Structure 1
Amino acid sequence: MSDEILFSGGGYFTAGMTESRTGGAVLVRDGRIAAVGSLDEVSAASVDPRAATQVDLAGGLLLPGFQDAHVHPAPAGVEMLQCDLSGADSAEETLALIARYAAASDDDWLQGGGWTMDHFAGGSPHRTGLDGVTGDRPAFLVSRDHHSAWVNSVALARAGITASTPDPADGVIERDADGTPSGTLHEGALSLLDGVKPVADEELAYRGLLAAQSHLIALGITGWQDALVGEGLGFGDSLPLYLRAVQEETLVARVTGALWWHRERGIEQLPELLDRRSRAAALARPDLFMADTVKMMLDGIVENHTASIHGHYRLPGGDAGSGLDFIDPERLGAHLAALDSDGFSVHFHALGDRAVTQALDAVEALGGSARRHQLAHLQMVADADLPRFASVGAIANLQAFWARTDDQLRDLCLPILPPGARERTYPFGRLARAGAALAFGSDWPVSTADPLAAVHVAVNRTGYGAEPEPLGGDRDKLDLATALGGYTAGSAHANGRGSTTGRLRAGYLADIVVLDRDPFRGAPDEIGDTRVTQTWIAGTRHH
Structure 2
Amino acid sequence: MTPPDLILVNADIRTMDPHFPRVGALAVRGGRVAALGSDGEIQALAGPGTRVIDAGGRLALPGFHDTHLHVQDGGQHSAESADLSAARTVAELQATLGGFAATHSRDWVLGGFYYSGIFGDHNLNRQVLDAAVPDRPCMIMASDGHNGCINSAAIARVGLTAATPDPENGHFVRDAGGAPTGLLYERATAWVDERRPAPTDDDYADGVRLAQAHANAHGLTGLLDASVEERHVRVYRRLAEAGALTARILATARIDPSETTAGAVARVERLRRASASPMFSVHSAKFFLDGVLENRTAAMIAPYADAAGGNAALMFTPDQINDLFVAFDAARFQIHAHAIGDLAVRAALDGIAAARAANGFWPAWHQIAHVQCVDPADLPRFAALGAVANIQPLWARAEPSVTEVAVPMVGPERARWIYAFRSLRDAGAMLALSSDWTVSTLNPFEIIETAITRQPPRKEGTHAAFFPEERLTLAECVEGYTVNAAIAGWRGHETGSLSVGKWADLILLDRDIYACNPYDIGDTRVMLTLLAGREVHAA
TM-score (normalizing by structure 1)? 0.92
Of 366-375 and 379-388, deviating more is 366-375
Aligned to 1:405: 398
Deviations 1:75-96 (A, max 9, x none): 2111221123244232322211
Give 2:70's match in structure 1, choosing from 47, 64, 72. 72
* Structure-2 change in CA distance of 1:248 and 1:51 (3 Å): closer
Output the CA distance in 1 between the equivalents of 2:213 and 2:122: 32
Deviations 1:106-151 (A, max 9, x none): 2112224111123335576111111122123111211111101110
Q: Secondary structure at the match of 2:76?
A: helix
Q: Secondary structure at the match of 1:387?
A: helix
Is the Cα–Cα contact under 8 Å of residues 10 and 61 in structure 1 kept in the other structure? yes
Output the CA distance in 2 between the equivalents of 1:52 and 1:450: 32
* Structure-2 change in CA distance of 1:134 and 1:272 (3 Å): same
* Structure-2 change in CA distance of 1:448 and 1:123 (3 Å): farther
Partner amino acid for 1:332? I
Output the CA distance in 2 between the equivalents of 1:240 and 1:124: 39
Is the Cα–Cα contact under 8 Å of residues 115 and 143 in structure 1 kept in the other structure? yes
Aligned to 1:234: none
Q: Does 1:319 align with 2:270?
A: no
Aligned to 1:370: 363
Q: Secondary structure at the match of 1:389?
A: helix
Aligned to 1:116: 115
Is the Cα–Cα contact under 8 Å of residues 148 and 185 in structure 1 kept in the other structure? yes
Aligned to 1:207: 206
Output the CA distance in 2 between the equivalents of 1:136 and 1:253: 41
Give 1:446's match in structure 2, choosing from 434, 439, 450. 439
Partner amino acid for 2:319? E
Q: Secondary structure at the match of 1:520?
A: coil
Is the Cα–Cα contact under 8 Å of residues 121 and 183 in structure 2 kept in the other structure? no
Of 533-542 and 99-108, deviating more is 99-108
Aligned length: 528
Q: CA deviation at 1:15?
A: 2.5
TM-score (normalizing by structure 2)? 0.93
Partner amino acid for 2:467? G
Q: CA deviation at 1:315?
A: 4.0
Is the Cα–Cα contact under 8 Å of residues 380 and 424 in structure 2 kept in the other structure? yes
Q: CA deviation at 1:333?
A: 1.2
Deviations 1:208-248 (A, max 9, x none): 111111111111110111111117xxxxx311110110122
* Structure-2 change in CA distance of 1:157 and 1:520 (3 Å): same
Is the Cα–Cα contact under 8 Å of residues 123 and 303 in structure 1 kept in the other structure? no
Output the CA distance in 1 between the equivalents of 2:348 and 2:166: 26
Q: CA deviation at 1:493?
A: 1.3
Of 395-404 and 84-93, deviating more is 84-93
Is the Cα–Cα contact under 8 Å of residues 36 and 506 in structure 1 kept in the other structure? yes
Q: CA deviation at 1:364?
A: 1.4
Is the Cα–Cα contact under 8 Å of residues 9 and 25 in structure 2 kept in the other structure? yes
Aligned to 1:7: 8
Is the Cα–Cα contact under 8 Å of residues 375 and 394 in structure 1 kept in the other structure? yes
Please report the RMSD computed on the Cα atoms of aligned residues, expressed in angstroms.
Answer: 2.1
* Structure-2 change in CA distance of 1:409 and 1:142 (3 Å): same
Stretches of structure 2 that go unaligned for 5 or more consecutive residues are none
Output the CA distance in 2 between the equivalents of 1:13 and 1:112: 41
Partner amino acid for 1:242? Y
What does residue range 391-402 of structure 1 map to in structure 2 within 5 Å? Answer: 391-402=384-395
Aligned to 1:300: 291
Q: Secondary structure at the match of 1:280?
A: coil
Aligned to 2:171: 172
Aligned to 2:270: 275
Q: CA deviation at 1:195?
A: 3.3
Aligned to 1:340: 329
What does residue range 386-535 of structure 1 map to in structure 2 within 5 Å? Answer: 386-465=379-458, 466=460, 467-473=462-468, 475-535=469-529
Q: Secondary structure at the match of 1:68?
A: strand
Q: CA deviation at 1:50?
A: 7.7
Q: CA deviation at 1:49?
A: 6.8
Aligned to 1:217: 216
Output the CA distance in 2 between the equivalents of 1:460 and 1:135: 44
* Structure-2 change in CA distance of 1:431 and 1:41 (3 Å): farther
Q: CA deviation at 1:312?
A: 1.1
Of 160-169 and 242-251, deviating more is 160-169
Partner amino acid for 1:534? L
Partner amino acid for 2:219? G
Q: Secondary structure at the match of 1:28?
A: strand
* Structure-2 change in CA distance of 1:18 and 1:306 (3 Å): farther
Q: Secondary structure at the match of 2:416?
A: helix
Percent identity for Structure 1 against Structure 2: 34
Stretches of structure 1 that go unaligned for 5 or more consecutive residues are 232-236
Of 124-133 and 3-12, deviating more is 3-12
Output the CA distance in 2 between the equivalents of 1:343 and 1:68: 22
